[in-house]
Amino acid sequence: MAKAFTNRRIETFEEFWLFYLQEHAKPRTRALHYLGTGLAVAGIVFFVTSGNPWILPGVLAVGYGPAWIAHFFVEKNRPATFTYPLWSLAGDFRMAFSWLTGHIAEDLRRAGVHDSAH
């Protein structure tokens, strides 16, 4: 699959979304992201209910840890967080929502990711 966005700055979130999906082409990468996103959401709920600010570093660790492991060891690419931190965070949640609502296969096809396991 050709990467359409490697030589220029991405200007819109919709462009970023397609790039983001290309950077998450392998099912195991996406699965580790879903895990991290779910753990981060649970951690945020725990923080809100407890009010303990020491939970926040743990939220970052459990949210980003699985995702970065996926990029470095499964996908073997650089996390988009390093270049597009806010869009990457939004992409994590959009990808999880797309998966939970059954639209991930359609989104992956639109991004040019040809992967039968989604």
Which tokens sit at 95? 């990808």
Confidence of residue 2 (pLDDT cuts 50, 70, 90): very low
- Give the tens place of pLDDT for each residue, 17-41: 999 999 999 999 999 999 999 999 9
Is 5's pLDDT higher than 60? no
Is 116's pLDDT higher than 90? no
The reported pTM is 0.88
SS3 content of the chain, % helix, strand, coil (to 5): 70, 0, 30
Q: State the average pLDDT for the chain.
A: 93
Q: Using CA atoms, how far apart are residues 75 and 85, in angstroms rounded to an integer? A: 18
The answer to whether 33 touches 70, Cβ cutoff 8 Å, is yes
Structural domain span for residue 38: 27-110
Considering the domain boundaries, does residue 95 fall inside one?
yes
Q: What is the mean pLDDT of residues 10-22?
A: 96
> Any residues with CB less than 8 A from the CB of 108 and at least 6 apart, and which?
21, 25, 114, 115, 118
Considering the domain boundaries, does residue 69 fall inside one?
yes
Considering the domain boundaries, does residue 4 fall inside one?
no
Is 1's pLDDT higher than 60? no
Considering the domain boundaries, does residue 75 fall inside one?
yes
Considering the domain boundaries, does residue 83 fall inside one?
yes
Considering the domain boundaries, does residue 101 fall inside one?
yes
Considering the domain boundaries, does residue 70 fall inside one?
yes
Q: What is the pLDDT of residue 8?
A: 79
What domain count does the chain have? 1
Inter-helix orientation angle 27-50/55-69, to 10°: 180
Considering the domain boundaries, does residue 5 fall inside one?
no
- Give the tens place of pLDDT for each residue, 50-70: 999 999 999 999 999 999 999
Q: What is the pLDDT of residue 54?
A: 96
